Amino acid sequence: MSSDYATDTQPEHGIQRRIIIPVDQSHHSKRAMQWYFDQVSQSDDLAIFVHIVEPVHPKTIINVAADSIPALAGSTLRITEESVNEGKRLCRNCMHEATEHDVKSRSFLYVDTKPGVALTRAIQELKGDLVVVGNRGVGKLRRTLLGSVSSHLLHHVTVPVAVVPPPAHRVSVTSEDGSVHKDFVSDLS
């Protein structure tokens, strides 16, 4: 289910590209958004910020007394409402940032237990021309075990996907006398 929570008042005429930017609270997401504004944004773009709210289900509660379930179910709903409100706030902040860069924007919240699947659906429904997504830079094993939203998008959408990697840091190995023995790039994020 999608909801259009925070939209600008500007019409979409004159829009040449619809750029989908998945957003969350991570610095990887913020880095991808900033990269878009700094490197590829155009005045006739429509930046579409998409935030996925992952619901919490009462069935994930294990070994809880049956008479405790109603109280826990109520708190689960509040957590979900809080997540929706945080998503709205995040999207408003992203739209404000777009305004600062003279880019038209809209934002949408999708509720789904699988962010990659929800984003794939959002990209299709919102008719994106380009997706800009951050990458956590996790290793191959961890990505295989846990999955990766950016990897999912690369394999399941039919539009270009720009994956913004974490910054690489140059590290120098020096000897006691201060001479540099080796320069190499390492991901320290």
pLDDT higher than threshold 70 for residue 172: no
Q: Which domain holds residue 97?
A: 2-186
Mean pLDDT of 72-77: 51
Greater confidence (82 vs 5) lies with: 82
Q: Which residues pair with 185 in a beta bridge?
A: 170
pLDDT higher than threshold 70 for residue 133: yes
Greater confidence (5 vs 87) lies with: 87
Position 131 scores a pLDDT of: 95
pLDDT higher than threshold 70 for residue 118: yes
Phi, psi of 138 (to 5 degrees): -75, 160
pLDDT higher than threshold 90 for residue 157: yes
pTM of the model: 0.72
Residue length of the chain: 189
What residue type is assigned to position 5 of the chain?
Y
CATH number at residue 90: 3.40.50.620
3-state secondary structure the chain: CEEEEEECCCCCCCCCEEEEEECCCCHHHHHHHHHHHHHHCCCCEEEEEEEEECCCCHHHCCCCCHHHHHHHHHHHHHHHHHHHHHHHHHHHHHHHHHHHCCCEEEEEEEECCCHHHHHHHHHHHCCCCEEEEECCCCCHHHHHHHCCHHHHHHHHCCCCEEEECCCCEEEEEECCCCCEEEEEEECCC
**Number of domains into which the chain is organized:** 1
pLDDT interval class at 3 (50, 70, 90):
very low
